[in-house]
Structure 1
Amino acid sequence: MNPLTVFPRHPSAPDTYYIGGAWAPAAITAVEKRFSQGELAAEWHKQDNHCGQRLEGYGVAHNGEPLADEETEIERLRTLYRFCTQPAHDAGPA
């Protein structure tokens, strides 16, 4: 599973997501969602590479992944940058 996969939320049932072809409550499917520093760096560099390729006019990344439009690629890069540079919500003293 891609660690950046977005699972659709059920329209009327709170905390229920469509995972693996069925609706499942979040409590059953909850797993650790924190990236290590290495994983964040790898995702950021991958997106930075995609962003650069999109700005150069490529429609498909060198690894064969389709690229999104320029604004989407830049927004993804900015989102990952925020994840990489901001402390976790529960980091630090309680």
Structure 2
Amino acid sequence: MPITRNLCMYKCDRDGKTEVLDETSSQAGRWRTYSFTRANQTTSDVLLCPDCADKYVQTLAAADTIFDTFMGNIRIEAGKHAEDIRPTHIPETEE
């Protein structure tokens, strides 16, 4: 009887490629799950094979350039989340 412990089927949400891999293998570690938010604020999660993940990273790099241009090339700190970016409270002063 074949041993199937730790085996998982991976299916790419972009090109439909499938692989059955040991989930602890280095090959399985090359598959990536990405979560993204569309302009209409809906969020999606996708599983991408190594080839599609590489293409997605290239697409993100192009989007980063467009966003930087939109923001006037002001860099947003890496890892800063929307809840950390709030208007600065200005204390009230008396006249």
**Is the structural similarity TM-score above 0.5?**
no
Give the TM-score taking structure 1 as reference length: 0.25
Which structure is higher in helix share?
Answer: 1
Give the TM-score taking structure 2 as reference length: 0.25
Which structure is higher in strand share?
Answer: 2
Greater Cα radius of gyration, structure 1 or 2 = 2
